[in-house]
Amino acid sequence: MADGPPATGVHPVVDGAFRALDRAGLTWVLLRGADELAHPAGDVDVLVQRDGLDRLDAALTGAGLRRMGVRGHGRHRFYFRWDAASGLWITLDVVTDVDFGRLQHLRTPLADGYLARRRRVDGLWRPDPGDEAWFLLLHVLLDKRRLAPSRRDGVRAAAGRARLPDPTAVFLAALLGGHWPRRALEVCARAQDAEFARLAAALIRRWTRRAPLGVGTAWLRTLTARGTDLPVPGSPPGLTVAVTGPGAAPVARALRARFPGPRRVVGARPGRAAAVRLHRRVGRLVVLPDARRRPVPGADVVLAVDGTRPVDDVVAEAMAAIWAQLAPGQR
């Protein structure tokens, strides 16, 4: 893939990132979402070899992505890039372990096996079909805990592909008890909202009871990291965006909702300057909404809005300006 034709149905930025991983000699696999890569609306989840982290930053920076300064997400690293042509932030969520739960506190030993069994499909490294199916089921059960309508068909299909002899099912049976993998497949095949949510809660309770020390330690470590206001090595410094004019508030809200990295909206209040300095120091995007038209000292990006232009147009313009400041080699 590193020197071959572009992968079929893959966004150019994602394709470039995958090629960079190949050129760096990294063993990697796309964990899920192969059918959504042409226009990825969410994170692109990639598993890489654990001993390759020293090459990862350089490889993805060379592909034009920037590491995101995010703490408290377990063993995840995030890399992002704005693509003006598609109007998308492309975000790679790179992990070295296969862990689950909203705090990544449900740890597994599955990563090495997933990488060993990977296969080449249409120019992409994808998991073994059984690994891919079980990963999706556990991602929705343990990370999301609810069955959104958009995921229903995918969950049903994955339940049809997953098998009880698959390595992930064998691991679950050993940890939780022999009947749990079969129960999970039956519930996911029916894909009924209430039953799915009950199973998700039961799996998490059972996992916690069977591995209390590991779950508790990972849970505490993640929460502690999320409360730590320290910059992440290799991530870009903070940036201040001032939005002025009568349409400032909706634009500020949209920026906060759509920017993929750590961000804060800081309104006019006592202590605002100190808050801005803190957030910038730890690498956050700081959005300053102000309905009055006046200069904002020290702002890296200034958006003067009058409320007549569509918010989406203003936000796209702002994202391009933000990326111009954050792109590799700029700051």
Q: What is the pLDDT of residues 284-325, one digit of tens each?
A: 899 999 867 665 667 899 888 888 889 999 999 999 999 999
CB 135 within 8 A of CB 233: no
CB 7 within 8 A of CB 47: no
Across the beta sheet with 66-67, the strand order is 28-30, 44-48, 88-95, 76-83, 66-67
The whole-number pLDDT of residue 293 equals 61
Rounded to the nearest integer, the mean pLDDT of the chain is 90
Percentage of the chain modeled with pLDDT above 70: 91
CA–CA gap between residue 22 and residue 3 (Å, rounded): 9
The whole-number pLDDT of residue 46 equals 98
pTM beyond 0.85, yes or no: yes
- For residue 148, pLDDT over 70 is answered with yes
Q: Which residue has the tokens 């932030």?
A: 89
Q: Which residue has the tokens 């090595």?
A: 233
How is 243-257 classified by DSSP, letter by letter?
EESTTHHHHHHHHHH
pLDDT digits (tens, 9 = 90+) for 215-228: 999 888 877 776 66
pLDDT digits (tens, 9 = 90+) for 63-82: 999 998 666 466 789 999 99
CA–CA gap between residue 331 and residue 326 (Å, rounded): 6
CA–CA gap between residue 156 and residue 256 (Å, rounded): 34
Domain range list for the chain: 12-225, 239-326
**Least confidently predicted of 87-101, 130-144, 199-213, 296-310:** 296-310
Q: Where are the beta strands (DSSP E) in the chain?
A: 28-30, 44-48, 66-67, 76-83, 88-95, 119-121, 124-126, 239-244, 263-265, 285-290, 301-304
How is 89-101 classified by DSSP, letter by letter?
EEEEEEESS--BS
Rounded to an integer, the average pLDDT of 29-37 is 95
CB 97 within 8 A of CB 86: no
Residue 141: which residues within 8 A CB-CB, separation 6 or more? 184, 188, 196, 199, 200, 203
